[in-house]
Chain A
Amino acid sequence: MTNPFFIAASADKYSIARLADIYNESRVDYIVPMPMNTKRLHDYVAQYDVDLSASVVAVNQDQQVAGIGMLGVRGTRAWITRLGVIPTRRGRGVGQFIMDSLLTNAVSRGCQSVLLEVIEGNEPAYGLFSKLSFETTRRLLVIRRAPNPLPAETLRVEPLNIDQITLFLSRRPPVASWLNETPSILAGGSTVEGLCVSLDSGEMGWIVYRSTPFQLSHFILGSVTDDLSDECARALLRVVHTRHPRRDTKVENLPADSPLWAAYQALGYGIEFTRIEMIKPL
């Protein structure tokens, strides 16, 4: 982590408001605009187990902030996120410096692997991560559905309580992306809702999601009885959108090869952008 031009300051020395400013400044020309205000970043840090003491702000010799990178930690796994370099300070290896600092911090916290996601088309970042021995694991879709009321249907629907939600989420195979792992979902607190739907065929499916006043998100679908059929997946999505007809919906990190994608498309979802998930053993 030697670079004569920069030092890595611990992000917990900065206020969330200042970190949001630095992050926004670093992403001002990003391939997909995703600025954050103080509240949004505060929630993000809490919900995705971002460890600010392991996250870094790169500062140059003139004490100017050059970039930022955050590290989430769950057990022996780490996740790099919110990485950015301020445009006017690029080109002196600051991106690699931040990455090296985050990897060192992950190792010092006992992590055995590091995950990250990069937006498809961001070749400089993908090149840097490849150079640092990150390997591609899969493509992840970020999909959206505009508010669009659906005709009411007669389906047997039962709300799930938090214990049932937790149980269903825990039964999933460990393949969810960081944003959709059980701690990420449950961190939504009172915004987390769950429904169970029974089809005439006897199949029973469940769906867990977050419902805020503005948006539905974090959809997780599963079957109680068997593998989730396309018919059941569509029924689950229809039930949610019938209950929340005026709500915008954003579902992040659906694996591009997920069999559920067809059901989402049938309900009017479109791709906003695609991420590439990468992993590096430590």
Chain B
Amino acid sequence: MSKIVIIEDDAQSARLAARVLKKAGHEVILAEDGEIGLRVVFEHKPDLVLIDLGLPDIDGQTVIGLIRENDDAKHSLIVAFTAYPEDTAAEMAKAYGCDGVITKPIDTHKFADQVAGFFRRD
């Protein structure tokens, strides 16, 4: 079982992702904006962070940069979880040191495998 933090302001999208990941056996913690997300990530040092790039308080990219600068949290896998156009999302994710991208809306049949794939790669 892995510890996963989902930083996502869209409650419906966050709940759906959390439900799928919990069913797959992961521990999931939700954070509704960037500031809360940073606090949760620094406190829980998760195995993986799923982060929306469009957050209401701090841009997702900025949050990713701050996680990567934190000695305790920087080794977490970070996956951009976004509705951005796929090309843009992939470029942003690479530039900001993400381990990958999952585009929204999620496919509930594939989502848990997509996330598991990042652990296998690691």
B104 → chain A, closest Cβ, in Å? 9
Main secondary structure of the interface of B (DSSP, over half): loop
Contact with A along B5-36 (1 / 0, CB 8 A): 00001100000000000000000000001000
Chain B interface size band reads: 20 to 34
Which residue in B56, B69, B88, B91 is a CB contact (below 8 Å) of A147? B69
Inter-subunit contact B85/A39 (CB<8 Å):
no
Q: How far is the CA of A264 from the CA of B105 in the complex (A)?
A: 33
- A262 CB within 8 Å of chain B: no
Inter-subunit contact B54/A33 (CB<8 Å):
yes
Q: How far is the CA of A268 from the CA of B69 in the complex (A)?
A: 18
Within 8 A of B (CB), among A241-280: 246-248, 250, 268, 270-273
Contact with A along B57-71 (1 / 0, CB 8 A): 111011001101100
Q: How far is the CA of A130 from the CA of B119 in the complex (A)?
A: 48
Instruction: List residues of chain B with CB within 8 A of the CB of A215.
Output: 58-59, 62
Chain A interface size band reads: 20 to 34
Which residue in A28, A29, A248, A273 is a CB contact (below 8 Å) of B65? A248
A120 → chain B, closest Cβ, in Å? 11
- A32 CB within 8 Å of chain B: yes
- A35 CB within 8 Å of chain B: yes
Inter-subunit contact B57/A33 (CB<8 Å):
no
Inter-subunit contact A248/B57 (CB<8 Å):
no
Inter-subunit contact B91/A270 (CB<8 Å):
yes
Q: Contacts A37-B33, A144-B95, A270-B91; is A214 near B54 (CB within 8 Å)? A: no
Q: Contacts A31-B85, A214-B62; is A146 near B96 (CB within 8 Å)? A: yes
Inter-subunit contact A146/B95 (CB<8 Å):
yes
Residue of A nearest to B38 (CB): A214
Instruction: List residues of chain A with CB within 8 A of the CB of B68.
Output: 147
Inter-subunit contact B82/A214 (CB<8 Å):
no
B18 → chain A, closest Cβ, in Å? 19
Q: How far is the CA of A272 from the CA of B53 in the complex (A)?
A: 11
Inter-subunit contact A214/B56 (CB<8 Å):
no
- A55 CB within 8 Å of chain B: no
Inter-subunit contact B56/A36 (CB<8 Å):
yes
Inter-subunit contact B85/A146 (CB<8 Å):
no
B58 → chain A, closest Cβ, in Å? 5
Instruction: List residues of chain B with CB within 8 A of the CB of A24.
Output: 9, 56
Please list 25 pairs of residues, one from A and one from B, whose beta carbons are closer than 8 Å in the complex, sorted by A's number: A24-B9, A28-B10, A31-B85, A33-B54, A33-B82, A34-B54, A35-B55, A35-B56, A37-B33, A37-B56, A40-B56, A40-B57, A146-B96, A147-B65, A246-B69, A247-B65, A248-B65, A250-B61, A268-B95, A270-B91, A270-B92, A270-B95, A271-B88, A272-B88, A272-B92
Question: Lowest 4 A-B CB distances belong to which pairs?
Answer: A33-B54, A37-B56, A35-B56, A248-B62
